[in-house]
Chains A and B, each alone.
Chain A
């Protein structure tokens, strides 16, 4: 792809699902505006009826940055991540979509490298990976690292997905590609992230990777219990027989 001036008329819609992220959403919006200076973008916040006043903060942020740059597309109650993305996608006006977590484990300073990689390669999807040089994780104990590595080796051996980090969710998509792939995805949670990338890979879309770091600020709270591991294995089996 020819690299045009700046970003060649591309617009990026950044979808951030939130639930009780009143402080983090303010920080992340500030950091996005700090790191994406010469880029046409909008931030679509899909809030699932947070009781902590997240939506109040978003309205204050709209006063600072403009209602055309920050879109609040709330839903009445907690309805899950997968549907949050499709909901945000309906309101996206860009030709590219970025999906990131609101809890600051995904730092907006990596957004320019996603955009640059896409412009250089013309990829349909650019996915952030924690497991290559320049990437990394902070705040995981040994158990968490062990399950992560085990899950990754299992998925790589069984699925041959062609990407090194399947469960990370910091990604940039061509909007049309995300719309097509997301409509065939049925899983939830971790498995949902894996399902999107595996289905896209099977359909032959060009996927590139950029290194990202992942800072887990919820120290000690291992989000991977027994039920998550069982869910992951079920998801793996599901992807084996359906993709």
Chain B
């Protein structure tokens, strides 16, 4: 019995059972057990190599796959670990935080559905299966954004839903065009067919060859629009600053921490690198979009006084770093991009959990009304200090190492302009988080908050664990440790369309 389907089965089981059972204590314990076991599973599968899992036992006929494949390789292992880690931390945080909402079990049900969707997107090796899981995750996230059911939250959720549906229709159109062109939905088989047609049209160089490249480029354009909207890269980012702050804090952590990466960045790079093949044109598009995101996000963030909205704008900016690193296409750039993806998940979800703790204790998100909270809430204050220094890229913390690698990769690839923009973005990030620390946690204690207490135990546990990860994750770059987790992921992207051979055999 293989471990792979358990990543989908367990969260779905949890969601379906929790939609039937109404006992609160049971919901807390059950959801946490499921997420803990998922995290442990994701650690267990590190030691396996590439696994191809065929649902229903449908073996390929004459080498052509007919069933749905689930594929676990280095890149999906990396994504699975980070998704399930952040999900575990968010559910631990939810035990206390969600006490104030009614229908807590419905919340866990939607949460686990979203998790199942994300795990499915990461594991799927079949284009349409991927789209179905993407919609499961996206639709549960729409309703989770509206979970508070205040007018502001409903408005944000509606906007998110409209934009998300437009993105999904672009993606569906792209998948339909690819399917009609290649005649298969299996991602590896698709890559094989496209590679064959590529070489054919190179030799013939006839009218049909032009239409081949036109079609592939058009589909890639659709995918960049669709997945760019899911990942909130700059021209497509308008929904994010409304949607992410409106959700309950653990959900904001999930959305900003992993959802935009699993649904947006991961699928985009999987398709561009492994199916259609990376070309210099796409490399340039990704570099420009990444740089636009870095600057657009951080410039909009600096003027914000709403704590969670500021963090949401920083998500746009940090996703820009990931796109910039991976868009370079060099091994070092990919390493930096993937490592930044890992780091950003950890520190951004920690920051959102911090903001949730502040809202839990004081009831406000306005930075101007806070002040001196460090004296009353030392755990929240100190962990948010660590996370702020991480996101700003201050040396001992994890964010520094990944940004350093991205900048070095830019310089190595002779893209010094992009490196300079990345450095400027990092400095502006530091400035904006100095502001957060100064107004929220340091300085004199605001009279209003004399009576507040530190948040309850479970919330503190998850914040402390994430803060420890922020300090320690730089160790992942040590040569022996890198062999285990980061290098296999980089290899998958480096191999490019050779991906098809490893899957189809």
The finding on whether chains A and B are genuine partners in a shared complex, rather than unrelated, reads no
